[in-house]
Amino acid sequence: MADVLVVAEAAEGKLKKTTHSAVTFARQAAAALGGTYSILVIGDALGEAAAEAAALGAAKVLVAESSALKDYVAERYVPTVVAAAKGYAVVVGTASAYGKDLLPRVAARLSAGFASDISELIVDAGRGSASAAPSEGSTLKYKRPMYAGNAYGICTVSTPVQVVSVRQSAFAAAEPAGGKAAIEQVAVVPPSAAAERVEFVSFDQVKSERPELAEAKVVVSGGRALKERFNEILDPLADVLGAAVGASRAACDAGYAASDLQVGQTGKVVAPSLYVAVGISGAIQHLAGMKGSKVIVAINKDADAPIFQVADYGLVADLFTTVPELVKQIQAARS
């Protein structure tokens, strides 16, 4: 048997939805290894986050709570995560900004191999059959995108402990499994003298009434073609659909949209139920961030735009007249 530890991400005392994707991976990995999975919640004022984690079917929930961990600083979190990880074969988190910052440091301290941003778990049962019963001898292989998602590589990790970060858009959010896991308090390990010199200054968060881009079920994204009318055209459509607003890198670089709205290889990776691309040509860097969406709708006046190759529905039209008309038709249909 081998067990899995999920490093949860919490903010403002609540569990981030990104954690649910890591739990889905943990369920798969624990089943393959014949073990169980636990969830580590770390930070300050974690009562609500711990209760939510306890409903996700874990064997137990470990809570490392301290006012010293109120503001995330990797150097302060790593010693506690490393201590909690003892006895686990796999340590996993989501490849969010939090996971990308924390998990490589954890892997280094554990002398563990690190498989980053994986999109699929492949179980090799070691008996020549993918359907063979899971066992302690099962090998976990990790599929991860390369070259902006145009190719995939499959890797294995040979160290006794493996650290993995999963792509949120590739693993469905775990639902409550029924019952409540036991909640255990774990000691917070003091940081090193060097880490004490790292000071948290501030966290500048963009507050919005819209859904968070990486977690939204509907996303409406705009490209550079919208120019200065970016918000004028997109906001009404996002409002009527209850959607988050995204943007291409070209729109962000041109100053038409804020940089935190960027979707793509160097921005946020999303996989909503519905993705509406307005005036986006479909460069491979942008497709890498949204092509996992369940339904893709593209509106572009260029019939040869690459976005139409991945779109489920495409409309070749002038977006400045089409999008306002679409908003009117949706409102009329709902009334």
93 is in an annotated binding site: no
Q: And the tokens for 54?
A: 């306890």
115, β-bridge pairs: 164
What is the C-alpha to C-alpha distance for residues 237 and 218, in angstroms, rounded to an integer? Answer: 11
What is the C-alpha to C-alpha distance for residues 79 and 98, in angstroms, rounded to an integer? Answer: 16
Q: Is 148 left (phi over 0), alpha (psi -120 to 50) or beta?
A: left
Write out the H or E segment, with its range, that includes residue 64. strand 60-65
Q: And the tokens for 303?
A: 């019939």
Which residue has tokens 């509907």? 218
DSSP labels, 85-128:
TTT-SEEEEESSHHHHHHHHHHHHHHT-EEEEEE-EEEEE-SSS
Which residue has tokens 């067990």? 3
Do 238 and 245 meet the contact criterion of CB atoms below 8 Å apart?
yes
Positive or negative CA dihedral for 327, 291, 21, 207?
A: negative
281 is in an annotated binding site: yes
248 is in an annotated binding site: yes
282 is in an annotated binding site: yes
285 is in an annotated binding site: yes
283 is in an annotated binding site: yes
284 is in an annotated binding site: yes
149 is in an annotated binding site: no
249 is in an annotated binding site: yes
185 is in an annotated binding site: no
124, β-bridge pairs: 139
Q: And the tokens for 175?
A: 């639902």
197 is in an annotated binding site: no
Query: Binding site, residues?
Result: 224, 248-249, 262-266, 279-286, 300
Query: Binding site for FAD, residues?
Result: 224, 248-249, 262-266, 279-286, 300
